[in-house]
Amino acid sequence: MKLESGVKHYATKQDYINKRPGIQALKSAEGLKNLEKGSEIKDAVPKTQEKVEISQEAKEVQKAQQLEKAKISKDSIKENLKQNVSEVKGAGKRLAEDALGAAKNLITTPGIGLIVPDISFSSSGNEALNEVKPVEIKTLDEINRPGIFFISGLHLNGISSDGGLPDLVAELEGAEHFSWKDEDTVLQEILRRPSDTPLVLVGHSLGGDAAVSIANKLNSLKNGFRKVDLLVTLDSVGFDNDIIPVNVKKNLNFIGDKDVFFNDGPNIARDISRTEVVNELRPESHTQLDEAKDIQEKIYDNVRTVMNDFKHLKRIEKLGQMV
């Protein structure tokens, strides 16, 4: 029955089910007619099929994207490996040359009485070793500003960090960043600057070896016995870089104590009256040294001290000219 409030009452649950409006509509002639025609089912089927087709297409697109990413990743890995092999071979050649130089210095020491013949690496012996070609040196214009050079060591794509020295370069005005393979380029850039301007060399790993090598080359008549105001070495890798030449005013040498292979030992001043050498043993690993915050702070402060001393000296000279 139906009350005034519009609420219908049913005798039982089954009575409600039998009298539901939807059921009654289906039982009507029009409902049966529509059901016989299958209009509702017919309309529903294409929608379901459309969803299935879209879902399948999405899966195919996703699969294609995954394959493309896998291909790019594979190509990237292959390229990284190729570059890493070249980098390692170049490093091997550098270390072999250092070892040979150290051996020649040892054997030709007075009292031993032996002479080591001149040995060079032949391209016919191993062409791969000659992939690191010397940089062509050209006569360039003079640069009237201090030289602040940061030299990184062996860099392996996908393994080596991109921080450390580059972070310091970004924060020090006029600083430049090079690879250990750019030793000749760095030397040429130094010689473009007036001899009275400050010179700072900072090197990590093979870059430290290159920095000491550059300092030794500058300490010659050919290069005017050029002074190095600050030399910073971080776990230098090599066989002939422990003795710091007299043209270096100060050497900060940071040594990691976790890597036996990379531990190059303390540096020694050839003349302690002309060169200050500070050796510091560090808990960081070889690859983490240049990222240690307190090491970065010490390098930053020492570079700033060199630059400020230079500016102060220039101000005094300028005042003297005015008197």
For the stretch 85-140, pLDDT in tens is 445 555 555 555 554 554 445 444 455 444 444 444 444 444 444 455 555 555 67
Residue 66's pLDDT is: 78
Residue 205's pLDDT is: 92
> Does residue 39 lie within any of the structural domains?
no
Residue 70's pLDDT is: 64
> Does residue 115 lie within any of the structural domains?
no
Residue-number span of the structural domain to which 225 is assigned:
145-322
Question: For the residues 190-201, what does the mean pLDDT come to?
Answer: 97
User: 183-191 vs 206-218: helix axis angle to the nearest 10?
Assistant: 40
For the chain, count helices (H), then strands (E).
Answer: 8, 8
3-state secondary structure of 197: coil
> Does residue 13 lie within any of the structural domains?
no
Q: Greater confidence, 192 or 16? A: 192
> C-alpha dihedral over 89, 94, 96, 102, to 10 degrees?
-170
Which range has the worst mean pLDDT, 73-77, 110-114, 252-256, 287-291?
Answer: 110-114
For the domain that residue 212 is a member of, what is the CATH number? 3.40.50
User: How sure is the predictor about 52, in pLDDT bands with cuts at 50, 70 and 90?
Assistant: low
Residue 261's pLDDT is: 60
> What's this model's pTM, rounded to 2 decimal places?
0.61
> Does residue 128 lie within any of the structural domains?
no
- Full DSSP string of 25-41: HHHSHHHHHHHHHTHHH
Residue 270's pLDDT is: 98
pLDDT above 80: residue 242: yes
User: How sure is the predictor about 57, in pLDDT bands with cuts at 50, 70 and 90?
Assistant: confident
> Does residue 212 lie within any of the structural domains?
yes
User: How sure is the predictor about 257, in pLDDT bands with cuts at 50, 70 and 90?
Assistant: confident
Closest CA to 313 of 186, 183, 146, 140: 146
> Does residue 32 lie within any of the structural domains?
no
> Does residue 210 lie within any of the structural domains?
yes
Number of domains in the chain: 1
Residue 154's pLDDT is: 83
Residue 284's pLDDT is: 92
> Does residue 63 lie within any of the structural domains?
no
